[in-house]
Amino acid sequence: MSYDVRVLRSDFPLLRRVVNGHPLTYLDSGATSLTPRTVLEAMDVYYSRHHSNVHRGVYQTAAEATEAYEGARADVARFIGAASPDEVVFTKNATESFNLLARAWGTAHLKEGDVVVLSEMDHHANLVPWFQLRDSHGITLRFLRVNDEYRLDLSNLDELLDGARLLSVTAMSNVLGTVTPIAQLAERAHAAGALLAVDGAQSVAHLPTNVATLGADFLAFSGHKMLGPTGIGVLWAKSEHWAETPPFLGGGGMISDVTLDGFTPASGPARYEAGTPPIAEAVGLGAAVRYLSSIGMDAVAAHELDLTAYALERLAHSFDERVRIIGPSTTLDRGGVISLDVEGVHPHDVSQVLDQHGVCVRPGHHCAKPLMRRFGLAATARASFGPYSIPAEVDTLVDALRDALEMFT
Amino acid sequence: MSYDVRVLRSDFPLLRRVVNGHPLTYLDSGATSLTPRTVLEAMDVYYSRHHSNVHRGVYQTAAEATEAYEGARADVARFIGAASPDEVVFTKNATESFNLLARAWGTAHLKEGDVVVLSEMDHHANLVPWFQLRDSHGITLRFLRVNDEYRLDLSNLDELLDGARLLSVTAMSNVLGTVTPIAQLAERAHAAGALLAVDGAQSVAHLPTNVATLGADFLAFSGHKMLGPTGIGVLWAKSEHWAETPPFLGGGGMISDVTLDGFTPASGPARYEAGTPPIAEAVGLGAAVRYLSSIGMDAVAAHELDLTAYALERLAHSFDERVRIIGPSTTLDRGGVISLDVEGVHPHDVSQVLDQHGVCVRPGHHCAKPLMRRFGLAATARASFGPYSIPAEVDTLVDALRDALEMFT
Amino acid sequence: MTQMPPLNDLYREIVMDHYRTPRNRGELPTPPAQRADGHNPLCGDEISVYVLINGDVIEDIKLTGHGCSISQASSSMMSAAVKGRSLEQTRELVARFKELMTSETADSSDQALRELGEIAALSGVSKFPVRIKCATLAWNTLTQALDDAPQQG
Amino acid sequence: MTQMPPLNDLYREIVMDHYRTPRNRGELPTPPAQRADGHNPLCGDEISVYVLINGDVIEDIKLTGHGCSISQASSSMMSAAVKGRSLEQTRELVARFKELMTSETADSSDQALRELGEIAALSGVSKFPVRIKCATLAWNTLTQALDDAPQQG
Ligand SMILES: Cc1ncc(COP(=O)(O)O)c(C=O)c1O
Ligand SMILES: Cc1ncc(COP(=O)(O)O)c(C=O)c1O
């Protein structure tokens, strides 16, 4: 249940990059992950040998492209423990997945006044589509708050869930690193008669995921955060929910028939995949999940846990309280996303100075403005890990932060 | 104004593929185009050296990724003669572009009873989103018909446009090859007070396009049909129309502010690009349009015109009327998409037999079921060309068709 | 990805015969017959199946529609095979046929193939995955008709 | 893609001084002052600019808000530079500053830089494209305030 990270690093071409005279110290996997050679090769082979449009072709390469595309669906289904590949719908990113959920499932099942519960910890991807649905269809939104321990405040959960149709919440905060108690939320949501949608954009990339035991009804995530390419995301749902979800985007491939009077939608995942799908991207994502499975997600999680423990420890003890961690201070129910508030140095400047050391950390609100407001911050500087991250990079981060502090004192 | 197609062919790795003992004869560019090395390399270099999330990063590779993504927008804007890169919005495919147009612009500007004019010649991508809008918002749809010469019947155009708000029509049929008179349609639509949206999925890939003179208000197209990657499309609109178009998908990147009470959308193309965009795909599309520009779209169009003339001639004279061309029989206002009806041989079987010769043609309704019905067909076998297609491939097609006819007689 | 097998596997003599001379074309009055419609959205193939059930036997069957050689031949062979069979035997045959299609390593022992009779000539289709839907369309539509038919006493 | 220039170009002595000791912090009563709010959606920087216009002169200016060193220094330097200037001179200065930012090959002749005074110390920002928005935020917000101000007789 562990792997040689030095060997693994050689799979990632970007780690050979030198920036500002320093080897790249990539600590922004929370924004997007690095891409291993095997994923790039899978896409290159696809384009060089098999590329064709899918589904409607009879000839050899069209059959191969279809096989590659549907094979990727099966790979992803296996990776998350889905009951069937048909439960996996490809979108362009996790954000589209939430829009599909809100607009297609949402408009079919929610009417004016119906309650959806979200959380203050959530990413805009799991907030804005619901605001849009509120504005167009008059649904009511309620919010779980975040407590001073950077956890979801569950004290009023039953109250919030009272009469609610859906709870939609992240499994791991992309700002705090907080891992939320999905099993418990599922149980209580279901007890209250609500369904549970989970934002897995962070969790699926870093923790083992098994939808058979997760308890969720819907799960959204993005390829580019889990070693896959840009341009592809996933919405998983239980078959019974897909069966009651109308189409979202309209166009070719999602129809059973079209006349000048109207259209009949197709069934299966095709129903939600209008137009030419992200074929090469699916192939890349398939390669990514196979790569992750070959390492083992348990091993990835264990590796990142160790690294997070080391980082929390070093960050807590190197700066005389001048660097504050915005998030849980131990690895309990926590992933490798570490937001920093550096005394007297704005996150933009932190990132700028760190860049001089080749260190990549992201400044900003991380698309979680309500959460930032909750903690009275406009922005943080966020370091986040991937399966390829190593303790030496934490050391480089600490040294670079020291430089930033000096420069701005 | 011409190029050496033999040299050009060496840029396309898939043309080295051997299928069923024959070199690949790829005649399905209307479904998706082959991808030149330079596009694959641009994406590979992006992932291997610059990959990061865009827009919010300060560090070196994030700045580079943003530069690459926005640079691609500028490349595409230049390629179609847009007034500014801000007029170019990246989507996942032409289909999403039409959904964006129908749902965002459409719901903001069209109310119950408002008229949108479409055509019987159009692809499902430019039909289904409007049916959806009709079903949700009660707009009224009218249809231009197709005459026996495989052209839009313009005899009742003024009638159809009377009181219409929008005319949305293809610039080139993906079934018939017919090139529609966009300039004339623009003039008459505007005279009637309607805007004009153009489906450029086929035309932009094969004919020079200049939105400054096209007369259209909106133009949708797909990267994968113009030597670019899958997973990216474009909606171009005049700035004045974007200014009056609300957001479509909600999420990160498209907001200016988010609180627990709601959100304020961003301005510029970002407003319509929720979530992590197809970054590598934009980079690939940028490389594709630079490649096409280096050949010259005039040269591409001239090359394909010659080839189409040759194919029409050979197909018309080789089979004693047993192979019927469903589309204009001369190259006048016609592109290199040739649909065939082979006497006594179902398109599926045509394609199957042709595959045995390494020839790729697509059987089916080509996502244009109303058009198929218009001509009493369930399917055709469609051959379509790209800049890399050559007369010898037409000869192979003719030989293979002869084989199919023999086999089924 | 493997190279495709030769076309003879697909277009066997007997398959082409059923395609060229389809059996049981036409309609039956409904009721008493039960009708079901099937179509393959990917290629536009369409079929209508009419079954006349008497007791637990398929007394008559007719077909209309259009499609490729494989879908036409498969429906013709299907109609010839089920006419006069009991409902139970028919459902067994449908199951056996689907097995034949869905797995290249399916049970193709002499015994199994013998039960399928001339339908076994369609076994080559399983090597052309995109054509499997063509071959199964008629069978799925038949199942639909049987499911829709009012229970008989 | 070129390597980034050294940080000293960005964080000049005088820039850091304005960041550490911002000039003209605070609010002015509105009216008579005109207020405008600006923010940078990408990083969350926020600024409010209060200008008190007397005739065609900016008699007083105050700023509130938060942001990175560049946005804070730029707004402080801007406030110091425009206080007491005529509206016309101010708009010229804004235009000159934006030129300084938007083009690495901008007119940076001695003459142009001299007119900008200490603001010229921000010229290094143009080499860090992602930071240009930080530097221009205050200036755009000032323009907004001037545009919004009621015309004076
Ligand atoms: C004319 C036309 N319009 C729209 C489309 C849809 O393009 P996409 O599938 O890339 O969304 C196509 C291609 O299938 C087309 O040929
Ligand atoms: C928790 C969380 N949810 C959703 C998203 C949205 O993902 P994407 O931008 O790929 O749509 C992100 C990433 O930005 C995220 O971190």
| Average pLDDT over all residues of chain D | 86
Distances (CA, A) of A147 to A120, A144, A375, D124: 10, 10, 10, 42
For the segment D95-107, the average pLDDT, to the nearest whole number, is: 75
In a domain, D99, yes or no: yes
In the reported structure, the alpha carbon of residue B333 is separated from the centroid of ligand 1 by a whole-number distance in angstroms of: 20
Q: Does residue C105 carry a pLDDT above 80?
A: no
- In this prediction, residue C1 carries a pLDDT of 40
Hunting for tokens 């779980």 — which residue is that? A144
| Average pLDDT over all residues of chain A | 97
Q: Give the confidence band of C4 by pLDDT, cuts at 50, 70, 90.
A: low
In a domain, C84, yes or no: yes
- Bridge partner residues of B25 (DSSP): B359
d(CA B111, CA B165): 10
Hunting for tokens 């069934």 — which residue is that? A267
The preferred substitution site among B199, B226, B362 for testing ligand 1, maximizing ligand atoms within 8 Å of CB, is: B199
User: What percentage of chain C reaches a pLDDT higher than 70?
Assistant: 88
Order of all β-strands in the sheet with D45-54: D34-40, D45-54, D57-66
Q: How far is C120 from chain B (nearest CA, A)?
A: 20
Domain count, chain D: 1
- Assess contact for B26 and B34: CB atoms under 8 A: yes
Q: Give the confidence band of B30 by pLDDT, cuts at 50, 70, 90.
A: very high
In a domain, D4, yes or no: no
Q: Does residue C151 carry a pLDDT above 90?
A: no
The minimal CB distance from D42 to the residues B50, B56, B64 is found for: B56
Per-residue pLDDT tens for D64-83?
A: 998 999 999 999 999 999 99
Which contacts of D45-49 are long-range, i.e. CB under 8 A and separated by 24 or more positions? Answer: D45/A348, D45/A378, D45/D71, D45/D134, D45/D137, D46/A378, D47/D71, D47/D75, D47/D137, D47/D138, D47/D141, D48/D141, D49/D75, D49/D138, D49/D141, D49/D142, D49/D144, D49/D145
Q: Does residue B229 carry a pLDDT above 60?
A: yes
Hunting for tokens 């016309």 — which residue is that? D88
* Cβ <8 Å between B67 and D39: no
Q: How far is A289 from chain B (nearest CA, A)?
A: 17
Q: Does residue D133 carry a pLDDT above 70?
A: yes
Q: Does residue D1 carry a pLDDT above 60?
A: no
Q: Does residue B212 carry a pLDDT above 60?
A: yes
Q: Give the confidence band of D107 by pLDDT, cuts at 50, 70, 90.
A: low
**Do A and C touch, counting CB pairs below 8 Å (3 needed)?**
yes
The minimal CB distance from A64 to the residues C1, C42, C131 is found for: C1
Q: Give the confidence band of D121 by pLDDT, cuts at 50, 70, 90.
A: confident
For the segment C115-141, the average pLDDT, to the nearest whole number, is: 88
The preferred substitution site among A91, A98, A123 for testing ligand 2, maximizing ligand atoms within 8 Å of CB, is: A123
Distances (CA, A) of D81 to A83, B185, B376: 67, 55, 76
Report the amino acid identity of residue B55: H
Q: How far is C6 from chain B (nearest CA, A)?
A: 8
Q: Give the confidence band of B121 by pLDDT, cuts at 50, 70, 90.
A: very high
Coil, strand or helix at A94: helix
Q: How far is A30 from chain B (nearest CA, A)?
A: 10
- Angle at which helices A391-407 and A347-356 pack, to 10 degrees? 120
Coil, strand or helix at A338: strand
Q: Is the minimum distance from the CB of B93 to ligand 1 under 6 angstroms?
A: yes
Task: Give the residue numbers in C contacting A (CB under 8 Å), as ranges.
Answer: 1, 3-4, 39, 41-43, 128-131
Which contacts of A392-397 are long-range, i.e. CB under 8 A and separated by 24 or more positions? Answer: A393/A25, A393/A26, A393/A27, A393/A359, A394/A307, A394/A310, A394/A311, A394/A314, A395/A314, A396/A22, A396/A25, A396/A357, A396/A358, A396/A359, A397/A25, A397/A27, A397/A311, A397/A354, A397/A359, A397/A361
Q: Does residue A230 carry a pLDDT above 80?
A: yes
Q: Is the minimum distance from the CB of A382 to ligand 2 under 6 angstroms?
A: no
Name the DSSP class of A271.
G
Per-residue pLDDT tens for A9-53?
A: 999 999 999 998 999 999 999 999 999 999 999 999 999 999 999
The minimal CB distance from C4 to the residues B20, B348, B408 is found for: B20
- In this prediction, residue B409 carries a pLDDT of 82
Element (H, E) at A280: helix A279-295
User: Residue B122 CA: which ligand 1 atom is closest?
Assistant: 1
The preferred substitution site among B222, B371, B384 for testing ligand 1, maximizing ligand atoms within 8 Å of CB, is: B222
* Cβ <8 Å between D1 and B64: yes
For the segment B86-101, the average pLDDT, to the nearest whole number, is: 98
Per-residue pLDDT tens for A175-221?
A: 999 999 999 999 999 999 999 999 999 999 999 999 999 999 999 99
d(CA B102, CA B115): 12
User: Residue A95 CA: which ligand 2 atom is closest?
Assistant: 11
- Assess contact for A150 and A178: CB atoms under 8 A: yes
Q: Does residue A320 carry a pLDDT above 80?
A: yes
Alpha helices in A90-216 (DSSP H): 94-100, 107-109, 128-137, 157-161, 182-191, 203-206, 211-214
Q: Does residue D4 carry a pLDDT above 60?
A: no
- Angular region, B147: left φ>0, alpha ψ -120 to 50, beta rest: beta
Coil, strand or helix at A5: helix
Q: Which residues, 6+ apart, have CB-to-CB distance to B10 below 8 Å?
A: none
Q: Is the minimum distance from the CB of B362 to ligand 1 under 6 angstroms?
A: no
User: What percentage of chain B reaches a pLDDT higher than 90?
Assistant: 97
| CATH class for the region spanning A296-408 | alpha beta
Give the pTM: 0.95
Task: Give the residue numbers in B contacting D (CB under 8 Å), as ranges.
Answer: 50, 55-58, 60, 62-64, 66-67, 255-257, 266
* Cβ <8 Å between A364 and D69: no
What are the boundaries of each domain within chain A?
40-294, 296-408
In a domain, C152, yes or no: no
Q: Is the minimum distance from the CB of B250 to ligand 2 under 6 angstroms?
A: no
DSSP codes of every residue in A230-269: SS-EEEEE-HHHHTT----S-STTSEEEEETTEEEE--SG
> Using CA positions, which residue lies closest to atom 12 of ligand 1?
B201
Residue A168's closest CA among A156, A149, A148, A186?
A186
In the reported structure, the alpha carbon of residue A81 is separated from the centroid of ligand 2 by a whole-number distance in angstroms of: 21
Q: Does residue A377 carry a pLDDT above 60?
A: yes
In the reported structure, the alpha carbon of residue B279 is separated from the centroid of ligand 2 by a whole-number distance in angstroms of: 14
Per-residue pLDDT tens for A83-94?
A: 999 999 999 999
Residue B141's closest CA among B124, B162, B164, B159?
B164
How crowded is residue B182: how many other Cβ atoms within 10 Å of its Cβ?
22
The minimal CB distance from D44 to the residues A353, A356, A379 is found for: A379
Q: Is the minimum distance from the CB of A210 to ligand 1 under 6 angstroms?
A: no
- In this prediction, residue C2 carries a pLDDT of 45
Q: Is the minimum distance from the CB of B123 to ligand 1 under 6 angstroms?
A: yes
Residue of chain B whose alpha carbon sits nearest to that of C68: B346
Distance of CA D35 to the CA centre of its chain: 15
Q: Identify the domain containing residue D92 by its residue range.
A: 9-147
Q: Is the minimum distance from the CB of B199 to ligand 1 under 6 angstroms?
A: yes
Any idea what the CATH number is for the domain that residue D47 is in?
3.90.1010.10
Q: Does residue A67 carry a pLDDT above 50?
A: yes
d(CA C70, CA C16): 8
Q: Give the confidence band of D3 by pLDDT, cuts at 50, 70, 90.
A: low
Q: Does residue B297 carry a pLDDT above 70?
A: yes
* Cβ <8 Å between B58 and D131: yes
Q: In chain A, which residues have their Cβ closer than 8 Å to the Cβ of D46?
A: 378
- Assess contact for B223 and B245: CB atoms under 8 A: no
In a domain, D1, yes or no: no
Q: Does residue A167 carry a pLDDT above 50?
A: yes
For the segment B345-359, the average pLDDT, to the nearest whole number, is: 95
Q: Does residue D132 carry a pLDDT above 80?
A: yes
Active site residues of A: 367
Q: How far is A135 from chain B (nearest CA, A)?
A: 9
Per-residue pLDDT tens for A240-261?
A: 999 999 999 999 999 989 999 9
For the segment D44-71, the average pLDDT, to the nearest whole number, is: 92
Report the amino acid identity of residue A405: L
- In this prediction, residue D105 carries a pLDDT of 52
Q: In chain C, which residues have their Cβ closer than 8 Å to the Cβ of A58?
A: 130-131
Q: In chain A, which residues have their Cβ closer than 8 Å to the Cβ of D17?
A: none
In the reported structure, the alpha carbon of residue B277 is separated from the centroid of ligand 2 by a whole-number distance in angstroms of: 11
Q: Give the confidence band of C107 by pLDDT, cuts at 50, 70, 90.
A: low
- In this prediction, residue C5 carries a pLDDT of 66
d(CA A27, CA A56): 42
- In this prediction, residue C30 carries a pLDDT of 87
| Average pLDDT over all residues of chain B | 97
Distance of CA B13 to the CA centre of its chain: 22
Q: In chain B, which residues have their Cβ closer than 8 Å to the Cβ of A262?
A: 131, 134-135
CATH entry, B40-294, from 3.40.50.300, 3.90.550.10, 3.40.640.10, 2.40.128.260 = 3.40.640.10
In the reported structure, the alpha carbon of residue C34 is separated from the centroid of ligand 2 by a whole-number distance in angstroms of: 52
User: What percentage of chain A reaches a pLDDT higher than 70?
Assistant: 100
* Cβ <8 Å between B263 and A124: yes
The minimal CB distance from B364 to the residues C7, C44, C131 is found for: C44
Q: Does residue A308 carry a pLDDT above 50?
A: yes
